[in-house]
Amino acid sequence: MSSQTDSAVPSGSFADWAYKCWGNPELASLPLTLQGRSCRLDMRRPIIMGILNVTPDSFFSGSRAGSVEDAMGRARRMLEEGADIIDIGGESTRPGASLVGEQEELDRVVPVIEALAAELPCPISIDTNKSAVARAAVMAGAEFVNDISGFTFDPAMADTVAACGAGAFLMHTRGKPESMQDDTVYEDLLAEVVGYLHTAVKRAESAGIPRCKLAVDPGIGFGKDLFGNLEILCRLRELHALGLPVLLGTSRKGFVGQIVGQSDPAERLNGTLATVALGVACGAQIFRVHDVRPAREAALMAWAVVHRQRP
């Protein structure tokens, strides 16, 4: 990467600077790979991350698994449908969700990760913001840590991920799930999102995590209202100023329901697929979804149009 990207953020609006950087061919080129603890994801095609929640209260019932056997069955189906990575979560992070204790989260996710890692070739990500859970999950076989707080909720997380050698997905949020929707007003939304992620990346690098193991996520639905989510989708390219893969997580979320008039998450697939296709057009490379096959097909079709070739 150029010295401009690695240097301190220029004064003024970070989002304005990021937008200008998009015109620089070096900064506009997207990363070709993302490394995990012992794997390497090929980013030349859309990467589909299947959601598998070992929780009783995740907002979409179709993503929940109540036992190791249930989780294994769901994971096998996602792999058959083309998942490139499976994201395991033991604590719901939907708006208003209550916190889960560390031991309870460990009890939920570790047996599932051990079982999946022993049988399936697909890389595993652990969706957690607790360093102890991240450490145990990587020891059980996870390749990546997906932290909704960008290493801010747990001060030991960056060092833990570095010591484990895992890759990381760093997301923007404003506040914890139980309160994050209390304040969704921003003076400059993209400036805050990109600036927050820039700081998260520097935090990760300072701990010893190389850039080749990092990806960023603007945090759709986390501390944003309907119009904030739409603004992020419209300006997704600005995140490429960070020079890292962009993960997009829109699957069946509330703002999709607001647009298409569906209060039931089970009825939000079509709206979700539109955001996946638009995300591909704007250069997002990783898509965290509940519905692997439809999302994969939408992403590949959009990719073919953008690149004018068969995937």
- Residues acting as catalytic residues: 253, 288
Structure tokens, 43 = 């980013």
In order of 26, 226, 288, 302, the CA distances from 268 in angstroms are 37, 15, 15, 19
Q: Is 222 in contact with 172 (CB distance < 8 Å)?
A: yes
3-state secondary structure of 300: helix
- Kindly provide the b/e burial profile for residues 282-301, where b requires at least 16 CB atoms within 10 angstroms of the residue's own CB: bbbbbbbbbbbbbbbbbbbe
Which of 166, 162, 168 shows the shortest CA–CA distance to 217? 168
CA pair distance 97, 203, nearest whole angstrom: 27
Q: Is 201 in contact with 161 (CB distance < 8 Å)?
A: no
**What is the chain's alpha carbon radius of gyration, rounded to the nearest angstrom?**
18
